[in-house]
Amino acid sequence: MQTRYRWYRIQLPKAMHDLSGVLARSPLAPNANQWFRKVEGSLGSPIYRFLWRSKVVITQFDDSGIPSYQDIATVNFTDFAIVTIDSKTFLRVENLGRSIRELLNAIESSVGLGFTCSPVTFENAKPTTIFENIQVIKLIGLKVVGAVLKDDLVARMEFASKQGITLDKLTSLEGIPHKIESASYELVFEGIKGQLSFASNGTVKVSGQLAPRLIHLIEQDLATF
């Protein structure tokens, strides 16, 4: 099963040093619209689950085709971890949806003024520690955008190979300005396999038994971005 992750660098108010303690004081309460709880994460360590209530409007039609509308109460959730690297604090958000606005608003309400957040992206570079600590690394997928072929002719290109892609031999990109949108790798460490995909917007997808180690190695470089 493939899991998506994104990281966000956060800044807490100067007087606050323990975000975990603050979140622990916001458990489920009767009639609460949002709350936090600690659960077991997919990487084998505890994480926080932020839950919030919302309503979905559904449309029903009677036999005459006349519509009626009904509110359905739902509960949404987002899983995240608090990661500290070189005295810097990050949120690692798992399988995030279109927005984490509800989560960030809830944290800001809990900690008060002074909370800031900015996404980690890989537009200009990608983590390097992971490539120095994995025994076998094979590039199996590559997507490029903004490839200027001629004048105003711009192309998106996608490459895939189960045998592995050698960038030096990818002649179709020679001399063509382009930007890497995402890259996918197959990795092996001490006989354990995993797959990893980086996107320039900061999204990372991992799968396989090697996933916990891959995430750990990526996080060693977070403070440099």
What domain count does the chain have? 2
Residue 216 has pLDDT above 90, yes or no: yes
Look at residue 124 and tell me if it is in a domain. no
Sign of the four-CA dihedral 95, 97, 98, 100: negative
- For residue 6, the tally of other CB atoms under 10 A from its CB is 20
- The phi, psi pair for 99, rounded to 5°, reads -150, 150
Cβ count near 37 (within 10 Å): 14
DSSP string computed for 68-117: EEEEEEEEEEEEEEEEEETTEEEEEEES--S--HHHHHHHHHHH-TT-EE
Alpha helices in the chain (DSSP H): 19-24, 101-111, 129-132, 211-219
Q: What is the pLDDT of residue 171?
A: 82
First to last CA, the chain: 28
- Asked if 104 and 18 sit in the same domain, the reply is yes
Q: Which of 126, 123, 140 is nearest to 193 (CA)?
A: 140
Do 8 and 66 fall within a single domain? yes
Tokens of 13: 């108010």
* 22 inside domain: yes
> What confidence tens digit (pLDDT) does each residue in 4-54 have?
999 999 998 877 767 888 887 776 666 778 888 888 887 877 899 999 888
pTM for the predicted model, two decimal places: 0.85
Residues 90-103 pLDDT 10s: 999 999 887 888 99
**SS3 state of residue 113:** coil
Asked whether residue 100 falls in the same domain as residue 144, the answer is: no
Looking at 71, 92, 119, the residue that finishes a domain is 119
| Residue in 166, 162, 145 with CA at minimum distance from that of residue 154 | 145
DSSP state of 101: H
Residue-wise pLDDT for 155-187, tens only, equals: 889 999 989 998 888 888 888 888 889 999 999
Please indicate, yes or no, whether residues 164 and 202 belong to a single structural domain of this protein: yes
Mean per-residue pLDDT of the chain: 88
- Do 111 and 17 share a structural domain? yes
**Are 199 and 115 within one domain?**
no
- Distance between CA atoms of 168 and 148, rounded to whole angstroms? 19
Q: Are residues 73 and 177 in the same domain?
A: no
Same domain, 137 and 184: yes
Residue 211 belongs to domain spanning? 129-224
